């Protein structure tokens, strides 16, 4: 029996609606003004219009010239270096054929860059990673700016790509838009074994060949990496927000079902256009209820903490003001229903086989934890997402998902969760606000009171670890890693070493204004500390030996030093200057580094009124 909407879910949604009313209303007026009764290309001058279809051939050119049928923009993050995006190579041709057969036209409007944190991890290129979201958004904006299109299909998968595509799509919110996923690679080396080899390497008990063999067995073929990081969190959250076709997120690439789903996306987006009978502008689809559904899905699955920024930024692009306290309050009532690495040993393929998103959505609906009365790319109502796709005699259809989980060690019903809450919490205190993910942190490790060891880059910490300097409890403070300092790199490389120290029996924790995604794992990590050190945050004044309290149970993050003492301290280090922040293309991103807002407002570089009021100059 389906429960009524949970009281806290309703209350959080209502306060988001109230908080967002001025900006949301302005946004809806903007996209209404951008919409037109017919194809916008019909209003182009003859020279402009001729430029828009000069590259087409045959019937496509004639259809565009005569304004027959809808024209769909295809924007893709395809490249053949990154496994997650390699399968996208054939998608534009599939989509063009399916759209043409359904009476429309599709044009490849533009490509966007796709950056992999897995490759740039620990390298200078990682300092451009977060800003690549803005580049993707701007590149998508350029692609859609020609007034040639009635709808858009956006092809992308990984970390910053999907949020960038969504931010741009909402900037063109009058267009019906659908995201088209690519699916995960086949399962490789079990995650527990991969983690074991990484920790042995950190201890010096495995060599580079051992490590490379393990990593190559883990990341081994086209498709998304199979752990539950930001890429797969993107896919799951977008599906529950109704931006993917039901049950499509984790269908493997290079399969008949994957192709059938991709081709159906082309047919379906035509139905969402003004002439298709189910006009569904993306800016109207993504409302406050849909945003809350996305947050709930993230929490119920222990998804990537990066989405505490990305979902805030996506919401802001639709005029919706989402806060970290909204995440925290929702987490208090959303049970953890999945165990996928790094929160367990299973990978995303095991999750999909156990029932995947359709089973998850059914449980969330039955528990009254998501809004069912929402618009989706499949039509009205989230109940559509209880279904899963299948091919029968070559025909694509949707059928009801199994009523029971296929593996309760991976995916559970809401009546038997892994934990009573979503495991994502917000910390407050004199060091500022921070996010912590505790779904993989044992209860006995969630409160740490210990002296600080302060570092300003990962290399310093790693050198101290190798030198055997850590012989007791400590809170590692890694500062000047925020968006305005150096682009907010992910700090995955810290986890194996901190895990070694915790396994030795030491109380350890991490406090940083940088990012960790889902990689913090079993270590308590207060991340994305805001305000960051480079923007006047108190993190800049913490010194070695200061006692720091990280209390994930009570939501506290503080340094136990008196206000007068802290006020009198000089800042002894800072972020790199513009002259120092060079190499690997970083100097090209200086303008974004100067413009970026705080993490709790999405770390957006495009600027909003709220951000502009709170900006602090980065030392140069």
In 3D space, the residue among 378, 386, 384 whose CA is nearest the CA of residue 356 turns out to be: 386
Q: Which two tokens stand for residue 436?
A: 């912590």
Output the average pLDDT for the chain.
92
Q: How far is CA 47 from CA 52, 65, 113, in A?
A: 9, 12, 30
- Between 207 and 351, the higher pLDDT residue: 351
- CA dist 493 and 519 (Å) reads 9
pLDDT digits (tens, 9 = 90+) for 233-287: 999 999 999 999 999 999 999 999 999 999 999 999 999 999 999 999 999 999 9
In 3D space, the residue among 71, 63, 76 whose CA is nearest the CA of residue 40 turns out to be: 71
Residues 446 and 440: beta-carbon distance below 8 Å = no
Residues 511 and 550: beta-carbon distance below 8 Å = yes
> What pLDDT does 1 receive?
64
**DSSP assignments along 28-50, one per residue:** HHHHHHH--SS-GGGGS-HHHHH
Contacts of 613 (CB under 8 A, 6+ apart): none
Q: Give the sheet arrangement for strand 105-111, strand by strand.
A: 105-111, 71-76, 151-155, 177-180
Name the H helices within 46-185.
46-53, 58-65, 91-101, 117-120, 129-144, 161-171
Residue 617 pLDDT > 80:
no
pLDDT digits (tens, 9 = 90+) for 131-159: 999 999 999 999 999 999 999 999 999 98
pLDDT digits (tens, 9 = 90+) for 431-442: 999 999 888 889
Backbone angles phi, psi at 512, to 5 degrees: -150, 155
SS3 annotation, 233-284: HHHHHHHHCCCCCCCCCCCCCCCHHHHHHHHHHHHHHHHCCHHHCCCCCHHH
pLDDT digits (tens, 9 = 90+) for 491-542: 888 888 999 999 999 999 999 999 987 556 789 999 999 999 999 999 999 9
DSSP 8-state assignment for residue 587: G
pTM, to two decimals = 0.94
- CA dist 400 and 178 (Å) reads 22
Place of tokens 């006009």: 279
In 3D space, the residue among 323, 392, 291 whose CA is nearest the CA of residue 600 turns out to be: 323
- CA dist 457 and 5 (Å) reads 45
HSE-CB at 337 with a 13 A cutoff on CA atoms is 29
- Chain length of the chain: 620
Upstream peptide bond of 531 is cis (omega within 30 degrees of 0): yes
> What pLDDT does 213 receive?
85
> What pLDDT does 496 receive?
85
> What pLDDT does 438 receive?
87
pLDDT digits (tens, 9 = 90+) for 25-35: 999 999 999 98
Largest CA distance in the chain: 76
Binding residues for [4Fe-4S] cluster: 158, 225
Burial class of residue 348 in the structure, from the number of CB atoms within 10 Å of its CB (0-12 exposed, 13-18 middle, 19+ buried): buried
pLDDT digits (tens, 9 = 90+) for 279-315: 999 999 999 999 999 999 999 999 999 999 999 999 9
- CA dist 27 and 297 (Å) reads 25
Binding residues: 158, 225
- CA dist 241 and 385 (Å) reads 10
Q: Rounded mean pLDDT of 588-606?
A: 94
- CA dist 245 and 180 (Å) reads 8
- Please report, rounded to a whole number, the percentage of residues in the chain having pLDDT higher than 90: 77
Place of tokens 């997120």: 249
């Amino acid at each position: 029996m389906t429960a009524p909407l949970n009281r806290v879910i309703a209350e959080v949604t209502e306060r988001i609606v109230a908080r967002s009313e001025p900006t949301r209303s302005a946004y809806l007026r903007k996209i209404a003004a951008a919409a037109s009764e017919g194809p916008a290309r019909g209003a182009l001058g003859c020279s402009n219009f001729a430029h828009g279809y000069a590259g087409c051939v045959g019937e496509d050119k004639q259809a565009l010239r005569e304004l027959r049928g809808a024209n769909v923009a295809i924007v893709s993050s395809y490249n053949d270096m990154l496994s997650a995006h390699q399968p996208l190579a054939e998608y534009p041709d599939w989509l063009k054929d399916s759209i043409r057969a359904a009476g429309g036209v599709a044009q490849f409007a533009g490509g966007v860059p796709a950056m992999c944190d897995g490759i740039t991890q620990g390298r200078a290129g990682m300092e451009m990673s977060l800003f690549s979201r803005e580049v993707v958004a701007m590149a998508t904006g350029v692609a859609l700016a020609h007034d040639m299109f009635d709808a858009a299909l956006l092809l992308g998968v990984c970390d910053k790509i999907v949020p960038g595509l969504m931010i741009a799509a909402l900037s063109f919110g009058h267009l019906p838009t659908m995201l088209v996923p690519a699916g995960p690679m086949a399962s490789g080396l079990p995650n527990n074994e991969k983690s074991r080899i990484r920790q042995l390497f950190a201890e010096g008990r495995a060599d580079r060949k051992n490590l490379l063999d393990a990593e190559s067995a883990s990341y081994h073929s086209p498709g998304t990496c199979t752990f539950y990081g930001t890429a797969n969190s993107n896919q799951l959250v977008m599906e529950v927000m109704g931006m993917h076709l039901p049950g499509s997120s984790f269908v493997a690439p290079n399969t008949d079902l994957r192709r059938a789903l991709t081709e159906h996306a082309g047919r379906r987006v035509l139905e969402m256009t003004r002439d298709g009978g189910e006009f569904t502008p993306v800016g109207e689809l993504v409302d406050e209820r849909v945003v809350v559904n996305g947050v709930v899905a993230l929490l119920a699955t222990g998804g990537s903490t990066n989405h505490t920024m990305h979902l805030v930024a996506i919401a802001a692009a639709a005029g919706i003001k989402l806060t970290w306290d909204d995440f925290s309050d929702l987490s208090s009532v959303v049970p953890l229903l999945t165990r996928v690495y790094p929160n367990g040993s299973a990978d995303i393929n095991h999750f999909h086989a156990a029932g995947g998103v359709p089973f998850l959505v059914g449980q969330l609906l039955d528990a009254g934890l998501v809004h069912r009365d929402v618009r989706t790319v499949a039509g009205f109502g989230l109940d559509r997402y209880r279904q899963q796709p299948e091919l029968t005699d070559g025909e694509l259809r949707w059928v009801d998902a199994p009523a029971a989980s296929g593996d309760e060690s991976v995916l559970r019903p809401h009546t038997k969760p892994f934990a009573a809450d979503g495991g994502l919490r917000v910390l407050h205190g004199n060091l500022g606000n921070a996010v912590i993910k505790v779904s993989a942190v044992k209860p006995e490790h969630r409160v740490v009171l210990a002296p600080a060891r302060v570092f300003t880059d990962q290399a310093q910490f790693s050198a101290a670890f190798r030198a055997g300097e850590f012989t007791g409890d400590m809170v590692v403070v890694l500062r000047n890693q925020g968006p305005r300092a150096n682009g907010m790199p992910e700090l995955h490389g810290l986890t194996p070493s901190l895990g070694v120290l915790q396994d030795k029996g030491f109380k350890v924790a991490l406090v940083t204004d940088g990012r960790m995604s889902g990689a913090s794992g079993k270590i308590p990590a207060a991340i994305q500390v805001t305000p960051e050190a480079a923007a006047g945050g108190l993190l800049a004044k913490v010194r070695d030996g200061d006692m720091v309290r990280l209390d994930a149970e009570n939501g506290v993050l503080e340094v136990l030093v008196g206000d007068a003492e802290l006020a009198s301290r000089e800042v002894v280090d800072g972020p790199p200057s513009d002259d120092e922040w060079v190499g690997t293309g970083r100097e090209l991103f200086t303008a974004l580094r100067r413009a970026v807002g705080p993490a709790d407002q999405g770390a957006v570089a495009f600027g909003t009124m709220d951000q502009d009021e709170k900006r602090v100059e980065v030392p140069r």
